[in-house]
Amino acid sequence: MPNSSGLVNRRDAISNTDATVVALLKKAGAIPLGITNCSELCMWYESSNKVYGRSNNPYNLQHIVGGSSGGEACTLAAACSVIGVGSDIGGSIRMPAFFNGIFGHMPSPGVVPNKGQFPMAGEAQEQFLCTGPMCRYAEDLIPMLKVMAGPGIRKLKLDEKVHLKYLKFYWMEHDGGSLLMSKVEQDLIEAQKKLWQQRDCFYHYFIIIVQKNEKKDSMYRGVRQENQYFTLGLNAIPDMMRHSTKQNTNIPSTGPITTGKAFKPPLTVKTYALLRQTYVSA
């Protein structure tokens, strides 16, 4: 099937093997119908590119479908299919799901294999990039996830009873000063405070404290006006999957997580431009 990722120079690119999740779904009896639209290189919250154009929302053709898995979401919303596959690192399943009134799930990292996805994720992004199910009906999410995860489903406990007392919850009291993010609404802050008042009902709780430095760089590195580029600093976000209730190596069992230390940004607009130039000129 086509594998252009919205790039003009890959217009005729055809996959010669199935991605791992596609192979697992086909083995379970799924019938692939086609490849749906996405943003160029899957790097925008819209599904428009120079190869296939813009995807329109089936409920209102003047509205967008979100991205980057927006083509899959609008296809499900239009009843062209009932199940599909998307990928998510910053909302690419979740945003199209609520834009189109369907259901999507971003699994925990490392559960569903990403092998076969294009563009390939770098080492830093691989910790956050997730391939996940998208469905017209919510009841299909769990069986889809079980099939797509393959052996990785053992990392989850989907069939076990949930004990609310042992759930972990995390929250941030502010955005760290990022100019790319909207301010946290006061109602949400008050809701967090109410939850904090009930903290004794939980075995583990964590406060993510984002430190601001003199340049007001956030945990996302915000907008660096002096260089006029922005970065999505995924390295600064704590990896919750690496911390269990039995062994916490660098996170206390209760108390604050402090982040915001200097790190090497994995992706910048300049880097994206270089990647795009490389792929286009290849």
pLDDT tens digits for range 120-144: 877 777 888 999 999 999 999 999 9
**Residue 148 dihedral angles phi and psi, to the nearest 5°:** -65, -30
Contact yes or no for 10/4 (Cβ under 8 A):
yes
Task: Name residue 221's amino acid.
Answer: R
How far apart (Å, rounded) are the C-alpha atoms in residues 244 and 242?
7
Query: Residues 76-118: pLDDT tens digits?
Result: 999 999 999 999 998 999 999 999 999 999 999 999 999 998 8
Average pLDDT over residues 199-216: 51
Residue among 280, 278, 268, 277 at smallest CA distance from 43: 268
For residue 223, pLDDT over 70 is answered with: no
- Average pLDDT in the 142-162 region? 94
Angle between helices 20-27 and 141-149 (to 10 degrees): 110
- Distance (Å, rounded) from C-alpha 135 to C-alpha 164? 27
- Model confidence band, residue 200 (pLDDT cutoffs 50, 70, 90): low
At 143, list the tokens. 């069986």
pTM (predicted TM-score): 0.68
pLDDT in tens, 177-198: 666 666 667 787 788 778 777 7
204-210 and 254-259 strand pairing? parallel
CATH numbers and ranges of domains, the chain: 8-156 (3.90.1300.10), 164-269 (no CATH)
